Structure formats: C-alpha cells, structure tokens
Amino acid sequence: MNIIGISAFFHDAACCLIKDGVLTAAAEEERFTRIKADPSLPKQAFKFCLEQGGITLADVDCIAYYEDPQKKLARQLWSGILKNDEGWLQRINPNMVDEQIRSKLGFNGAIKYYDHHLSHGASSFYFSGFENAAVLTVDGVGEWATTTYATGSGNKLEIFEQVEFPDSIGLLYSTITSFLGFGVNDGEYKVMGLAPYGRPLYTNEIRKLIQEEDGGQFRLNMKYFDFIAGNRMYSDALGELFGLPPREEDLEMEQVHKDIARSMQKVLEEILIAKANYLYERTGSENLCMAGGVALNCVANGQVLRHTPFKNLFVQPAANDAGGAIGAAALAYVELTGSRPKGGRLQHVYLGPGYSSKETQQLLEATSIRYTAFPQTGALVEATAARINEGKVIGWFQGRMEFGPRSLGARSILADPRSPVMRDRINAMVKKREGFRPFAPAVLDKRAESHFDLDHASPFMLETCQVISELDLPAITHVDGSARVQTVHRDTNERFYELLRAFDRLTGCPILLNTSFNIKGEPIVCTPEDALRCFITTDIDCLILGDYIIDREENNFDLLKLLLLHDVVRQSGITHEVYTFV
C-alpha cells in the first residue's frame, strides 16, 4: 500500500510517501526548486518520494491532498477575496487541484481530499504514539477553520468544534508581525524571539483585538484588521490603538516594538492555555497533540504544558502546512486499511534526500577546492570538534535531509555555544538576521538534564526551557534565560551524536549551537552542491560535507564567491505583505 500525501498551492508545498504504513519519505518542494516557501505542486518532491520508496508511479495506490478545495473556495467567495480579480468568475478553476495532480503528476488513481485542519491534526496524532489524545490545531486559516478541537482514539480522529475565519489566532499573530515590520508567514518566529526583550505593556490593547468567547470560541475585532480585503493585514485603527505608526522593515527596532511583541506573546499564551484547558475539560485526556503554524511557537507550547492538566505533549515537527501532507497521507492510510500508520511515535524527521560519499567526492573532484577525506566517523568528528573548539563556524551536511522547518543535525550550521561572540559572528557571516534572535542548542540526550530544565526528550527543537547549566552558554541562552533545546539521540542521528560526544570529550560541554544551514531568504540546503554554494558565498569557516572536510583557510574562494553571487536570484513563493489566502 503506497500512499502519497501532498500539500500545495498555499505555501510550503510538500510531498510524502507512506509505504505499507511506514512514513518513508517527505520533503518540501522549496528544497529542490530553491524558491523559498514554494507553493507550487511538489513535482520534484514527488519524484524524490517515488525514488526513495523504490516504487514507480504505477505502484501508487492513492494520493491524499491536505485540503478540501471546494470548502476553501466557499470561504474565498464569502470573504470576497476573488472580487478584486476582474473576470474572476471566468478564470476561477475549482477543479484545479484535481487537474494539476492528473496532468502534472500523471496520476490516474484515487485522490482523497481531507480538511486542512484535520490533516494538521492527523499529522500530530497519528505520529504521536499516543493511543488517545486531545488534539489542538491552530493556524492562520485552512478552508473555514482557523482553530480546531478534536479527540483522537486508536485510529479515530474527530474534530468536535472549530473556530472559523476570520477569527484566527494565527492571523492575529501575523497581523502584529506585519505591524512590527516583519514578513507575514515568515516573521512570526522573529516576534517570538523579540518578545523576551520587551515588557507586557500593551496586553490591554492586544486584548481589544481578540475577545474570548464560550467553549473553544473567540472573535477578532475586525475594526483593527484589514486582511479580508487582501491588501494588508491591519487597519489604520491598530496604529491609533498603539499610538504609533507601523514599523517599516528597515527602521530601527525600538523598545515599544519589543513591548508590543512581548504583549502579543503573552496574550497568545493566555489564549492557548485557556483553550487547551477547555480542550482538556472536553476530552479528559492527559495527552495533547498540536499542529498548525502557531504550534511552532515553542515558547507558548512550553507554557501550555506547564499551565494545563496535560501531562504529555506531542507537537508535529512539521507543524506548518508542509506537515499537512503527512497528515493527509495518514488519514488516507487509516481510511483504506483501518489501521494507524506504523512506527508509533515519530522518532526523527530525516526523511529527505541523502547523497553517497561517492557522489560528494565526484563533485569535489570537479572543483578547485582543497579538501580532506575522513572515511572513518571517529576521525571526522574529532577533527570537526577540534575546529569548533577553535571557535570555527561549521557547515554540517550529513545523511538525509530533515523534513520541516528546523535543522536538526543533517543540514545544520554548528558552533561553540560557550563563545560570547558567536551569536553576532554567525549573524554577520551567514544568517544576516536580526541580532535579537537566539540560536538553539543541540545536546546529548543523556546530558540534557544537567544543563537544561528538561525532564524528557526534545528531539525536534519545539520546546523552550530554562538553561540551568554550570557552563556559561551565551550563544544559545536567550535574554530571559531560556533555550530552545534539541536532544540528540544515537539511534536517530549517530554521526551528530558522535560529534557532540567528541566535543564533550574535548571541552566538557556536550552542547553545540545548531542553526539552519541556509542564507537569509533561501531555503535550507538540500544537495551537496547547495551546501558548497552556501559555504562559499558566506563566511562559514569550515564545511563538513559527508566524509570530507573543507577549510576556508586552505582555499581562496574570492573568484568562486563572485561567480556564485552573480548566479543567485533569490525567489520567494509567497508574498509577505499580507497572508496569502488564495
């Protein structure tokens, strides 16, 4: 039984394969096309899934799509989004998804459509390992729903209540994101990172934007929003409410902006805690599953777990729309077989493409680059750990690529978390991002409790906790003393685990700074060639490309850098002015 799951035509298009009940492959289309958040039909990701699964198109039993196009169209019609497009009635193609899957993927078999939030819920529940759970999904909008409450039991997943568009926690957060001068669908996590620098002085104002109602419901005060019209997120009234104009992207970040971010984060946490408590009352389960873009707010997730009766939390690591693909595929698998997908709790997300040592060697041999081969893992990690200890910033490319927005030791930039200058250094040399945003730590699983206030595994970097280490870890400790921790386990990423061990042996620190291997505005690297390009065009000190180490100091990349920088046309698949509803 081969089931393909697809999310597409919104943002973060992705494809996955569930082969005989096992999640075998998953990847976002952006990684192949190099178009950030590429929303287009994931043709290359689809081809990868077939190859990875060792199957052909003729072997696919079903394609599961993560959304119901007809319901989505209804919501678009209701909100009048299509009206700005002259001649919309003639141009509209309600069967577009079906036609695209048939014509561009060549698939003639059954296509099953599942609601957007049901797909999100399934992506969490069916991979949580919980026999029963309460399921909370929160994002901008799917079809009608923006928030859903569901129960999962065995192979059943049922939504019992939903909040509908335009009342949306995700859109509220995106509106404040936009007001603070960050891109919608892109800058929400920056607001989360900015929040600890501020004071909650604007919570009263933010509470005027959203009114809590009975049960799971809440309602936005649309006086302050303009996203239905489709041109911008907020109305002029929002600026009047805060007593200041919207911040423009390039302007200085002032304390008031940090205060608004802190206030937004606080109100978000309050609402999520309230609604999670309601969900607990309704379901009685001690297990909570979360998904949807808002579930990537790891600070809020931690608060939910601490301030509700839930004892266990599972957040789908690809909680954004990309993860909808695996939720839809899981739903189809349950529908066709009556069983849940196999494998229990999701152990890792190394579900993307991997490359052989021979392919990497062939690439390097074609270039003028000086490199050293380390065919033994032991020697490779010792050499890498030594470089990190010297203060070097490392591009780390190993094994199969991660699925989801987080780099977890397959396509990562690594550095010494003890260095007080490392955050600024990495920001300056590669990430080119706002200095206030923290980097995350990766820690040996067995040593996590000694350094972080964490009593369970956190393999997906989706929770924050306090840093309690005796070590000084300025590069990964946020201003409020928190960190977004990834615990690293030998059985899911042995080479990364061995690297952490090697660094621990060398320094007594079993922790590394871990951030995504990409340049600002580009998707995370996918192939060895992407990694080389990223390495050469930034100032990363050293690239560990499979079994090979390339040191910048042994190479002169001036010409290559110039050539590659000329070759770069950064593309984004979505607009950041307003939430893309269509």
Partner 1 sequence: MSYRPSEKLKPLANALAGLLSNKNKDNIAIANVLEQLAVDEVAAPAIAAPTEHDIELSPGMNIGIWKQVEQDGKTLYSRDVKKQLEWGLWANVHEIPPKSNKQRVLLFGESAARTVFYDPGYNLSMEMEHMLSANVQLGEIEIVDLARTSMLLRDLIPLMHSSVALEPDAVIIFAGNNWVFQLHEQEYDYHQLLNICKEKGLQGMKSFMEEEMKKIVLSALGEIKQAFTDRQVPVLFIIPEFNLLDWKSNELERILPALPGNQGLEWLSAREEAEKTLLEEDLEGLGAAAQKMIHADPSNPYGLELLADYYIGTGNLEEARRCLEIARDAILFNRSSKSMPRRLKVIRDTILDAAVEHGIRTLDMEDIFKTGYGSLLPGRQLFLDNCHLTIDGVKLIARYTSASIVEILTGEKCDVETLVVSTLAPDDEIIAHAHFGAAIYNAHYGQSREIIEYHCKRAYIFSPEISNIMRKYIDFATRMASTLLCRSFEELIVEEDLKQYMGGYTLRHPRNTKLMDIPLIDAISNTLRAGGIDIDQEVNVLRLKEHAIQDRPVDLLASYYCQRSYHNFFVKNKPFFFEARQKESSFYFVSNAEQDLTFDFVYRSVATKGSSEVKVMLNDQETPVAGLTPSRDWEPVRFVVEKERLQKGLNELKIIWPYIPLPLTVNGTLTAESFLLALFPVIGEISQLTAISK
**Residue list 90-129, contact with partner 1 (CB under 8 A):** 92-96, 99, 102-106, 108
Under rule CB under 8 A, residue 50 binds partner 1: yes
Among 16, 26, 38, 46, indicate the residue that binds partner 1 (CB under 8 A). Answer: 46
- List the structure tokens of 86: 């002259």
Where in 29-73 does DSSP place strands (E)? 35-36, 62-65
From residue 327, alpha-carbon distances to 18, 23, 37, 113, 446 in Å are 10, 11, 19, 11, 31
Residue closer to partner 1 by CB (options 105, 118) is 105
Under rule CB under 8 A, residue 582 binds partner 1: no
Under rule CB under 8 A, residue 575 binds partner 1: no
Applying CB under 8 A, the span of 78-86, 125-133, 340-348, 494-502 interacting with partner 1 comes to: 78-86
For residues 23 and 352, is the Cβ–Cβ distance under 8 A?
no
**Residue 223: CB minimum distance to partner 1, A:** 5
Exposure string of 342-376, with b = 16+ CB inside 10 Å and e = fewer, is eeeebebbbbbbebeeeebbebbeeeebebeebee
- List the structure tokens of 240: 């009047």
**Residue 137: CB minimum distance to partner 1, A:** 20
Among 225, 242, 350, 496, indicate the residue that binds partner 1 (CB under 8 A). Answer: 225
Under rule CB under 8 A, residue 328 binds partner 1: no
R_g of the chain, CA atoms, integer Å? 23
Contact string 352-381 vs partner 1 (x = CB under 8 A)? ----x-x---xx--xxx-------------
Under rule CB under 8 A, residue 333 binds partner 1: no
Q: Smallest Cα–Cα separation from 246: which of 200, 184, 296, 189? A: 184
Residue identified by tokens 């577009």 is 96
Task: Check residue 201 and give left, alpha or beta (phi > 0: left; psi -120 to 50: alpha).
Answer: alpha
Helix ranges (DSSP H) in 233-297: 236-242, 255-283
**Residue 376: CB minimum distance to partner 1, A:** 22
Among 386, 457, 519, 564, indicate the residue that binds partner 1 (CB under 8 A). Answer: 564
From residue 558, alpha-carbon distances to 302, 372, 431, 464 in Å are 45, 20, 19, 40
DSSP 203-228: HHHHHTTEEE-STT-EEE-GGGB-TT
From residue 30, alpha-carbon distances to 36, 149, 250, 322, 505 in Å are 5, 30, 26, 10, 38
From residue 129, alpha-carbon distances to 19, 164, 316 in Å are 18, 29, 12
Contact string 417-436 vs partner 1 (x = CB under 8 A)? --------------------
Under rule CB under 8 A, residue 397 binds partner 1: no
- List the structure tokens of 287: 């297990």
**Residue 91: CB minimum distance to partner 1, A:** 8
- List the structure tokens of 550: 């390339």
Q: Is residue 567 packed enough to be buried (19+ CB in 10 Å), middle (13-18) or exposed (0-12)?
A: exposed
Where in 229-349 does DSSP place strands (E)? 287-291, 312-315
Three-state secondary structure string covering 149-161: EEEEECCEEEEEE
Instruction: Give the interface size with partner 1 as a residue count (CB under 8 A).
Output: 67
**Residue 71: CB minimum distance to partner 1, A:** 7
Q: What gap in Å lies between CA 188 and CA 174, rounded to an integer?
A: 6
Under rule CB under 8 A, residue 529 binds partner 1: yes
Under rule CB under 8 A, residue 338 binds partner 1: no
- Give me the catalytic one of 11, 116, 120, 451: 11
**Residue 49: CB minimum distance to partner 1, A:** 11
Contact string 137-176 vs partner 1 (x = CB under 8 A)? -------x---------------------x----------
Among 222, 244, 253, 383, indicate the residue that binds partner 1 (CB under 8 A). Answer: 222
**Residue 1: CB minimum distance to partner 1, A:** 17
Residue closer to partner 1 by CB (options 367, 492) is 367
Under rule CB under 8 A, residue 57 binds partner 1: yes
Residue 120 among the catalytic residues: no
Residue closer to partner 1 by CB (options 415, 578) is 578
Contact string 2-41 vs partner 1 (x = CB under 8 A)? --------------------------------------x-
Catalytic residues, by residue number, are 11
What residues line the site for partner 1 (CB under 8 A)? 40, 43-44, 46-47, 50-51, 56-59, 69-71, 73-75, 77-80, 82-84, 86, 89, 92-96, 99, 102-106, 108, 144, 166, 222-226, 228-231, 235, 237, 356, 358, 362-363, 366-368, 529, 532-533, 559-560, 563-564, 566-567
